[in-house]
């Protein structure tokens, strides 16, 4: 029997929707609605390259040089992105998560993150995936189980797509955000917030992505009346729309068109829409950084509504 790089799998089913959650990293390997792939996932025999479907804890995106200071201490994280010399996307993506509960349409996985090099803090983490008639909901809970305050951020990295017929370039993006974070060549924010007005990055009105390279952190998100921010990708005629939604704990979102993926065939094949509770490099800038006191918990929720 072959062993999958992503470990055990847990299938969720609700009507014509089916999602597969994996043990390693508690990631989303696939999500289908009817006969259409909602996410650009990965096969059971391959790892989730490019952050594909992964949960990003205890920080999303990059920390410059893997260095930061917290509580009067200088920290050095392992650098795991050689291209930029940064520590990227947290510490839990390659760790096995334990199954807590499973039903036909719901799965909860948990992980105790123990103190380690560069992150000498303890967290109890849980991820719950649920399929409803409205789509997929993902809830992340983190509790500081250590004796000292700790820095924390959460994110997710789904690549979404409308259908086989409409690649990223032809799709319409609706990004209800009025600002981006200026970044250097490594993707580290400079501290300058830029209005999208009059720029190529203004998608407040849905429009075609075209050949625009996106590896862009957005902020100043505009939520709907229910407090939910909805980012959508649509077919050119606007007929089929996939929506990534996030609650108010996510004041940032990264949009990534996949142009630097090592597998050239996967570039611009799906659009990464990444909910984030903090900005890239928040461990240094403090921009959106959450400080969890001992015993304190943080809950964040996001999801995907399939094409309709």
Please, what is the end-to-end C-alpha distance for the chain in angstroms?
38
Q: Is residue 162 a part of any domain in this protein?
A: yes
pLDDT for the residue numbered 308: 74
**Total domains, the chain:** 1
**206 is in which domain, residue-wise?**
9-305
CA dist 232 and 259 (Å) reads: 20
| Angle, vertex CA 278, rays to CA 272 and CA 282, nearest 5 | 115
CA dist 290 and 298 (Å) reads: 9
Q: Is residue 2 a part of any domain in this protein?
A: no
Q: Is residue 66 a part of any domain in this protein?
A: yes
pLDDT for the residue numbered 1: 41
Q: Is residue 1 a part of any domain in this protein?
A: no
Q: Is residue 164 a part of any domain in this protein?
A: yes
pLDDT for the residue numbered 165: 66
Q: Is residue 3 a part of any domain in this protein?
A: no
- Domain with residue 153: its CATH number is 2.70.98.10
Beta-carbon contacts of 237 under 8 Å, excluding residues fewer than 6 positions away, are: none
For residue 265, report the phi and psi dihedrals to the nearest 5 degrees. -65, -25
- Say whether 130 sits in a helix, a strand or coil: strand
pLDDT for the residue numbered 2: 59
Up-side HSE of residue 231: CA atoms within 13 Å toward CB? 30
CA dist 168 and 101 (Å) reads: 36
Retrieve residue 84's tokens: 């930029």
Q: Is residue 254 a part of any domain in this protein?
A: yes
| CB-based contact 289:153 (threshold 8 Å) | yes
pLDDT digit string (tens) for the chain, length 308 residues: 457 899 999 999 999 999 999 999 999 999 999 989 999 999 888 877 889 999 999 999 999 999 999 999 999 999 999 999 999 999 999 999 999 999 999 999 999 999 999 999 999 999 999 999 999 999 999 999 999 999 999 999 999 998 776 789 999 999 999 999 999 999 999 999 999 999 999 999 999 999 999 999 999 999 999 999 999 999 998 888 999 999 999 999 999 999 888 888 888 889 999 999 999 999 999 999 999 999 999 999 999 999 77
pTM of the model: 0.96
CA dist 150 and 254 (Å) reads: 24
Q: Is residue 4 a part of any domain in this protein?
A: no
């Amino acid at each position: 029997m072959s062993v999958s790089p992503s470990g055990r799998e847990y299938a969720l089913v609700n009507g014509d929707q089916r999602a597969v959650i994996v043990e390693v990293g508690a990631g989303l390997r696939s999500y289908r609605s009817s006969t259409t792939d909602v996410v650009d996932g990965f096969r059971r025999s391959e790892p989730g390259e490019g952050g594909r479907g992964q949960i990003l804890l205890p920080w999303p995106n990059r920390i410059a040089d893997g260095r930061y200071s917290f509580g009067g201490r200088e920290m050095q994280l392992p650098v795991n992105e050689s291209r930029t010399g940064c520590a990227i996307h947290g510490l839990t993506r390659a760790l096995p998560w334990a199954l807590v509960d499973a039903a036909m349409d719901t799965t909860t996985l948990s992980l105790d993150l123990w103190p380690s090099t560069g992150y000498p803090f303890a967290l109890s983490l849980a991820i719950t995936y649920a399929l409803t008639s409205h789509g997929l909901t993902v809830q992340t809970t983190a509790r500081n189980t250590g004796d000292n305050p700790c820095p924390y951020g959460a994110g997710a990295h789904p690549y979404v797509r409308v259908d086989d017929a409409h690649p990223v370039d032809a799709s319409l993006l609706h990004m209800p955000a009025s600002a981006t974070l200026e970044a250097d060549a490594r993707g580290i924010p400079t501290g300058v917030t830029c209005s999208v007005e009059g720029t190529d990055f203004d998608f407040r009105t849905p429009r075609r992505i075209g050949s625009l390279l996106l590896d862009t952190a957005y902020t100043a998100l505009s939520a709907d009346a229910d407090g939910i921010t909805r980012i959508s990708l649509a077919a050119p005629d606007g007929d089929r729309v996939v929506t990534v939604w996030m609650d108010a704990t996510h004041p940032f979102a990264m949009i990534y068109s996949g142009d630097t993926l090592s597998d050239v065939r996967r570039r611009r094949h799906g659009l990464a829409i990444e909910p984030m509770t903090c900005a890239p490099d928040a461990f240094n800038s403090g921009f959106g950084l959450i400080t969890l006191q001992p015993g304190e918990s943080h809950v964040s929720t996001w999801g995907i509504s399939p094409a309709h």
